[in-house]
């Protein structure tokens, strides 16, 4: 499986990819692609940078130890889920099919928060 060079969807909201990115082509005019391994390396780099940013903030500001542990555990869950999605992705499936995992109901606190936001 190969991926287009540019900004993968999961990095689009991070600000790590340029909005003005153009498609790169190789000598024959085909679109340049990056391998699944290169995508995994990008994901690893992204999460490493996030951990370093969190570490810097924790070093400067007083943050309770259990908050840091919980934050990093959650970050690791997101990282593993992202890598699992990459492995589960069928090369012929462009995301148009049904989700591979069931859609879990959000926690009531999250639902209340989202409703409060929508109410204004």
Angle, to 10 degrees, between the axis of helix 65-88 and the axis of helix 36-60?
170
The average confidence (pLDDT) of the chain is 74
How confident is the model over 62-101, as pLDDT tens digits?
889 989 999 999 999 999 999 999 888 755 555 555 556 6
The DSSP bridge pattern shows strands 2-4 and 33-35 to be antiparallel
Coil, strand or helix: which one is 40? helix
What pLDDT is recorded for position 97? 54
Say yes or no to pLDDT of 42 above 90. yes
Confidence of residue 1 (pLDDT cuts 50, 70, 90): very low
When computed from its CA atoms, the radius of gyration of the chain, rounded to whole angstroms, is 18
């Amino acid at each position: 499986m190969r991926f287009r060079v540019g900004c993968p969807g999961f990095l689009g909201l991070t600000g790590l990819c340029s909005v003005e990115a153009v498609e790169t082509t190789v000598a024959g005019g085909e679109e340049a692609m990056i391998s699944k391994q290169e995508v995994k390396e990008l994901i690893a780099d992204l999460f490493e940078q996030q951990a370093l940013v969190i570490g810097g903030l924790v070093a400067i500001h007083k943050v309770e130890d259990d908050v840091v542990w919980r934050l990093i555990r959650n970050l690791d869950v997101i990282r593993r889920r992202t890598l699992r999605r990459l492995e589960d992705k069928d090369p012929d499936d462009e995301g148009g099919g049904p989700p591979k995992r069931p859609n879990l109901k959000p926690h009531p606190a999250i639902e209340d928060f989202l409703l409060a936001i929508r109410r204004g």
